[in-house]
Structure 1
Amino acid sequence: MEIRPECLIPFSENWSVPNGDEVREIIRRTGLTGGQVAKKVGLTGSGASRTVRRWVSGETDISYAIWGILCDLAGIKSIWRETESD
């Protein structure tokens, strides 16, 4: 599955929130489980894994900061860094 380019850019009014399928794909590329993802991004408590499931289902939007961490863990790129051409 491809991730839309507008989800892989530095935060601005042009950044698009990834949909559930895109979140699922990034998590798949990390090789982590939902529980491991929750731990890596600092989610704690009994609802941490549920939050990840909500991102994947599209019920809740993922934040740019957490999306950026997951993209980095997935080996995509550090999306928060501007390229020289930007």
Structure 2
Amino acid sequence: MSDPNIRLECLRPAEKWERPTGDEIREVLRLAGLTGGGAAKKVGLGQKGDRTVRRWIGEETHIPYAAWALLCDMAGLGKIWEEG
């Protein structure tokens, strides 16, 4: 399943993956029904993890592939780490 607000290049296995924009990260959180704090807890970020999520959305730092893949799965976009 894909979303028109998220590029297909962001929904691929790590070897072929392109980093999402802040807007794409925000859209995945919306689809998953998560706040920044909720997302931080789901992907195992420690204290102040919500700040890290804000930095991903603000494009101050890059979201790690593993965190992105988990969030995509929670958003109903599938297990992007699996080929095909």
Moved over 3 A (4+): none
State the percentage of identical aligned residues.
Answer: 56
Tell me if 1:50 matches 2:51.
Answer: yes
Any residues of structure 2 matched to 1:57-76 within 5 Å, and which? 57-76=58-77
Give the one of 36, 39, 55 matched to 2:38. 36
> How many residue pairs end up in the alignment?
81
TM-score by length of 1: 0.89
How much has 1:36 moved relative to structure 2? 0.7
Q: Which amino acid aligns with 2:8?
A: P
Structure 2 unaligned residues grouped into runs of 5+: none
Q: Which has the larger radius of gyration?
A: 1
Distance 2:41 2:83 in 1: 27
Gaps of 5+ in 1: none
**Offset at residue 67 of structure 1 (A):** 0.2
Distance 1:3 1:36 in 2: 21
User: CA RMSD for the aligned pairs?
Assistant: 0.9
Question: Quick check: 1:10 aligned with 2:13?
Answer: yes
Deviation at 1:2, TM superposition (A): 1.3
Q: Distance in 2 between matches of 1:7 and 1:32?
A: 19
Task: State the alpha-carbon separation in 1 of the partners of residues 50 and 35 from structure 2.
Answer: 9
- Structure 2 CA distance, aligned partners of 1:37 and 1:74? 11
Residue 28 of structure 2: SS of its match in structure 1? helix
TM-score, normalised by the number of residues in structure 2 = 0.92
